[in-house]
């Protein structure tokens, strides 16, 4: 999630605000208050709609990825300095409009929308001074690669009708302009010292080299033509085939060749050898802004680094206890490597055997979860194997149910070779990606009457923090009885703890890329290749990996606080309801919400 947040829009004008007051002057006080509250909520709703619409139009590809397909024919050059400046001006205008609404006139639900809108707008505006647009390409994402990933029609941009084919083609025709802007931005970055790390650019280059082709027919962007439905008319088939061939040969191939040549010959030699964002102008402040946005807290990198080290040490102590139970007698830090080498933890011969384990676990959870939750999603959870076409590049994941109930939430299990599928992490993975992790949060979110900016937005700290916290519930549900299952839980926790250490280490404490790679190998048992890939992800997404553990720790901390404060009055199902009932919120708002609940329950 490299980009964050969204928000806002507001009232009509003094005339709109003034007229009802005059009209209501002779009405009873309660009625006047009702009119004022209704007016304020309508203003806030209009503002929220305006904000979401501005975001979707500014970044139509992002809208597509969020499930809003109204702008599938638009590309949006968000990296344009002019368009970027206009968007920040809109944020400032939205914030002024928001502050013109009296928060006290809103009911509780509207106040939450107000607070989140204000929080997100202020967060967005903290990035105005940082030239993120000068870094438009890295190995984790870029517009050419994003559109290439859409080419199969399996992603968020469907390709099943002639209209959808023309919408995607429209985006391809706009891609050369994006590439020209990206090259101009990177040249400005070379001039001002805002450039990508050399290692990251070296990893990114093969992606663009693969986009090149000798003929239009062998180009990845020609994939829609090769997969064209037989139901298309002969006229549509002929027109679309000719149009795709012309766009690819006359526009895309030359543009992509130009980009690749620029990256290889001009940009790569100008990249930097420093590792962290603190190697850029105003890098320390830039990193702090990322940390705040990704954790939704005021924690400093130093505090997060210390927390990470403390968590790593705690988990390694647990390794020392669980290792001997699994038959391991070496140093605690070596347990993950040992487990990875044990064939007994790869017991599967078929895909069906893998999915059967998940189905059995799902059945157990359906019996146990009602004791921990009173607020549960209406949408069912289905378990499916990832389609063969996308297995090579996918990882186990969750997709949300349709808001109209036509599609369930789905836990997708990715099994490339069942003989290589490890069993130790299955319980904790399902708790995270299935229920009560993402399904209980995201499916509930779909059922709530929330403005679009909240349904389609959110933050990693809450979303991933909740899912990571949900993993810990396996212990009290008795799901970690086998030592290998508990190890799987600890191993996932260790990854999130290590992220706190290496992310802050590289971006604020002078750690080198090589230090991070070695630390991940030592603590996680990763191969050099995996540790390198993970390290380079954190290099180009400063702060993104921090939200998981910080969010989980905050939810656990609030649970402990409520337990201590309420004693016998504490209800775990009610605590979970308080956490989930308003959808995704920043951690600061979650903490305030839990505190209000504690005060209410304790009678203070």
Confidence of residue 180 (pLDDT cuts 50, 70, 90): very high
436 upstream amide cis, omega within 30 of 0: yes
pLDDT above 50: residue 152: yes
What Cα–Cα distance (Å) separates residue 85 from each residue in 171, 380, 457?
23, 44, 21
Q: What is the pLDDT of residues 120-140, one digit of tens each?
A: 999 999 999 999 999 999 988
- For residue 36, the tally of other CB atoms under 10 A from its CB is 18
**Burial level of 152, CB count in 10 A (0-12/13-18/19+)?**
middle
pLDDT of residue 389: 61
pLDDT band at 526 (very low <50, low <70, confident <90, very high): confident
Q: Is the pLDDT of residue 600 over 60?
A: yes
> Mean pLDDT, the chain, as a whole number?
91
pLDDT tens per residue, range 221-265: 999 999 999 999 999 999 999 999 999 999 999 999 999 999 999
pLDDT digits (tens, 9 = 90+) for 363-418: 999 999 999 999 999 999 999 988 776 676 667 888 888 767 777 888 988 888 99
pLDDT digits (tens, 9 = 90+) for 47-97: 999 999 999 999 999 998 888 899 999 999 999 999 999 999 999 999 999
pLDDT value at 299 more than 90: yes
- Whether 15 shows a pLDDT value over 60: the answer reads no
Cite the beta strand spans of 10-166 per DSSP E. Answer: none
Which pLDDT does position 33 carry in this prediction?
60
Residue 378 confidence (pLDDT): 92
Give pLDDT, residue 446. Answer: 87
Q: What is the DSSP letter of 379?
A: S
pLDDT at 7 over 70: no
pLDDT tens track for 189-220: 999 999 999 999 999 999 899 998 999 999 99
559 pLDDT higher than 80: yes
Say if residue 11's pLDDT is above 60. no
Task: With cut-offs at 50, 70 and 90, classify the pLDDT of residue 24.
Answer: very low
pLDDT in tens, 263-298: 999 999 999 999 999 999 999 999 999 999 999 999
Residue 1 has pLDDT above 90, yes or no: no
CA dist 545 and 84 (Å) reads 25
What's the helix, strand, coil split of the chain in %, to 5? 70, 5, 30
- How much of the chain, in percent, has pLDDT values that exceed 70? 93
pLDDT value for 9: 32
The DSSP symbol for 4 reads -
What span, in angstroms and rounded, lies between the C-alpha atoms of 537 and 406? Answer: 36
Average pLDDT over residues 474-490: 96
Provide the edge-to-edge strand list for the sheet that holds 409-413: 381-385, 409-413, 397-399
The pLDDT score that the predictor gives to residue 393 is 61
> Average of pLDDT values for 526-555?
94
Cβ contacts of 553-561, under 8 Å, gap ≥ 24: 553/307, 553/311, 553/465, 554/297, 554/461, 554/465, 554/587, 554/590, 554/591, 555/465, 555/466, 555/469, 555/579, 555/590, 556/469, 556/472, 558/590, 558/591, 558/594, 561/594, 561/598
What is the model's pLDDT at position 17? Answer: 30
Q: Measured between alpha carbons, how far is residue 79 from residues 88, 144, 469 in Å? A: 12, 13, 36
586 pLDDT above the threshold of 80? yes
């Amino acid at each position: 999630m490299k980009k964050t947040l969204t928000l806002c829009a507001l009232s009509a004008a003094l005339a709109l605000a003034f007229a009802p007051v005059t009209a209501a002057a002779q009405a009873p006080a309660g009625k006047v208050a009702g009119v004022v509250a209704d007016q304020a909520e309508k203003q806030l709703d209009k503002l929220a709609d305006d904000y979401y619409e501005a975001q979707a139009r500014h970044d139509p590809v992002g809208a597509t990825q969020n499930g809003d397909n109204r702008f599938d024919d638009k590309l949006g050059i968000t990296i344009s300095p002019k368009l970027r400046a206009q968007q920040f001006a809109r944020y400032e205008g939205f914030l002024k409009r928001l502050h013109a609404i009296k928060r006290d006139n809103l009911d509780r639900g509207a106040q939450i929308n107000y607070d989140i809108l204000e929080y997100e707008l202020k967060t967005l505006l903290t990035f105005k001074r940082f030239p993120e647009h000068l870094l438009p390409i890295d190995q984790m994402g870029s517009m050419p690669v994003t559109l290439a990933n859409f080419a199969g029609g399996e992603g968020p941009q469907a390709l099943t009708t002639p209209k959808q084919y023309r919408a995607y083609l429209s985006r391809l025709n706009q891609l050369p302009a994006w590439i020209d802007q990206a090259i101009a931005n990177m040249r400005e970055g070379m001039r001002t010292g805002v450039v990508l790390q050399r290692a990251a650019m070296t990893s990114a280059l093969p992606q663009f080299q693969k986009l090149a082709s000798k003929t239009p027919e062998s180009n990845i962007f020609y994939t829609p033509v090769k997969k064209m439905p037989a139901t298309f008319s002969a006229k549509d088939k002929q027109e679309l085939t000719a149009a795709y061939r012309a766009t690819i040969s006359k526009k895309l191939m030359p543009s992509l060749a130009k980009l690749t040549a620029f990256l290889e010959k001009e940009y790569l030699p100008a990249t930097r050898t420093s590792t962290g964002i603190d190697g850029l102008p105003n890098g320390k402040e830039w990193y702090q802004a990322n940390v705040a946005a990704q954790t939704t807290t005021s924690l400093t990198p130093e505090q997060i680094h210390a927390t990470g080290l403390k968590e790593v040490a705690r988990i390694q102590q647990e390794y020392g206890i669980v290792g001997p139970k699994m038959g391991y007698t070496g140093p605690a830090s070596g347990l993950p490597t040992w487990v990875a080498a044990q064939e007994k933890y790869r017991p599967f011969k078929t895909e069906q055997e893998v999915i059967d384990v998940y189905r059995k676990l799902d059945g157990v959870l359906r019996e146990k979860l009602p004791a921990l939750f009173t607020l549960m999603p209406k949408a069912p959870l289905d378990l499916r194997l990832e389609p063969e076409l996308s297995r090579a590049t996918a990882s186990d994941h969750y997709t949300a149910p349709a808001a109209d109930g036509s599609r369930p939430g789905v836990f997708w299990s990715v099994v490339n070779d069942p003989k290589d599928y490890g069993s130790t992490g299955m319980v904790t993975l399902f708790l995270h990606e299935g229920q009560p992790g993402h399904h209980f949060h995201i499916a509930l979110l779909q059922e709530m009457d929330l403005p679009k900016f909240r349904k389609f937005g959110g933050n990693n700290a809450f979303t991933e923090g909740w899912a990571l916290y949900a993993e810990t519930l396996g212990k009290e549900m008795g799901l970690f009885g086998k030592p290998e299952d508990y190890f799987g839980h600890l191993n996932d926790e260790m990854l999130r703890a290590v992220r706190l250490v290496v992310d802050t280490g590289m971006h604020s404490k002078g750690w080198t890329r090589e230090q991070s790679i070695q630390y991940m190998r030592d603590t996680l048992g990763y191969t050099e290749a995996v540790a390198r890939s993970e390290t380079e992800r954190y290099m180009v997404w400063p702060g993104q990996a921090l939200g998981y553990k910080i969010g989980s720790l905050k939810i656990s901390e609030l649970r402990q606080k409520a337990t201590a404060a309420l004693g016998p009055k504490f209800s775990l199902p009610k605590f979970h309801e308080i956490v989930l009932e308003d959808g995704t919120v920043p951690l600061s708002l979650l903490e305030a919400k839990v505190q209000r609940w504690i005060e209410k329950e304790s009678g203070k």
